[in-house]
Amino acid sequence: MFLLVFLRRILHGDARSRRRDSQNNLFFVLLCVISLRISVKQQSMKIFITGISTDVGKTITSAIVVEALEADYWKPIQAGDLDNSDSHKIKSKIFNQKSKIFENAYKLNTPASPHLAAEIDGVTIDLKQITEPKTDNHLVIEGAGGIFVPLNENDTIIDLIQPDYKVIVVSRHYLGSINHTLLTIEVIRNRGFEVAGIIFSGSENKSTESLILNKTGIRCIGRIDEEPYFDQNVIKEYADLFRDNLLNL
């Protein structure tokens, strides 16, 4: 709209007025460019959160990202703990009332690898039956376990990632975690996806974190300390810390 008004002024104004208004016109163009960049930045994001293994902090990370962006949340596959699922945990740990928690595509009864949990339940996980929920809001998608956790005989968690997803890798320090982190990032990149950032969880290990960041060139969105508990207040504190980095993925 602003650009149309500007073009009319250029086309219909006389030479004298164009010279007189040249500085104002330049300022006007700059405002239009800034407005356009802000508009692009405010477009909704789809953020896929994966980890280097099981129990590395994906759900806590998801809660923080959901709270920071007031995003919607979706975990396509839940295996086990259906009465206290990750979706339930997210809902209980966020303050904001805007976020919507979408239903799982598959709810499996056994806490096991999805392919095995599905087999026990007498079903087969079919990627064609996993439909991304529609929303105009930011959407946080949480994987299950690591990137190569099997869903069936052919597909793994990485096959849930779509080209428009921004991937965040959660890394937790333990013996072998450097190898697992580098392998996870390498696999994601080899599939043609970009890793938007990494979040470290657990006790800090500066040497490990520095090595991973230097070898991969990936930026650190933040780190989650070994807290005694994670309630709404703690989640909100981390959300406030991470928000700017998340908005600039």
Model confidence at 170, pLDDT cuts 50, 70, 90, reads very high
Task: Tell me the average pLDDT of the chain.
Answer: 89
Decide if 222 contacts 238 (C-beta within 8 A). yes
- Let me know if domain 44-247 sits in CATH 3.40.50.300: yes
Query: Known catalytic residue: 100?
Result: no
pLDDT tens digits, one per residue of 123-143 = 999 999 999 999 999 999 999
What is the pTM (predicted TM-score) of this model? Answer: 0.83
pLDDT at 5 (0 to 100) = 46
* Candidates 46, 75, 93, 236; catalytic one: 75
Tell me what the mean pLDDT of segment 101-112 comes to: 97
pLDDT digits (tens, 9 = 90+) for 14-34: 555 545 555 555 554 444 444
The pLDDT of residue 36 is above 80: no
Q: What b-and-e string marks burial along 169-205, b requiring 16 or more CB atoms within 10 Å of the CB?
A: bbbbbbeebbebbbebbeebeeeebebbbbbbbbeeb
43-71: pLDDT as tens digits: 899 999 999 999 999 999 999 999 999 99
- Give the integer Cα–Cα distance in Å for 158 and 98: 29
Domain layout of the chain by residue ranges = 2-40, 44-247
- Quick one: pLDDT at residue 25? 53
* Chain position carrying tokens 């376990």: 145
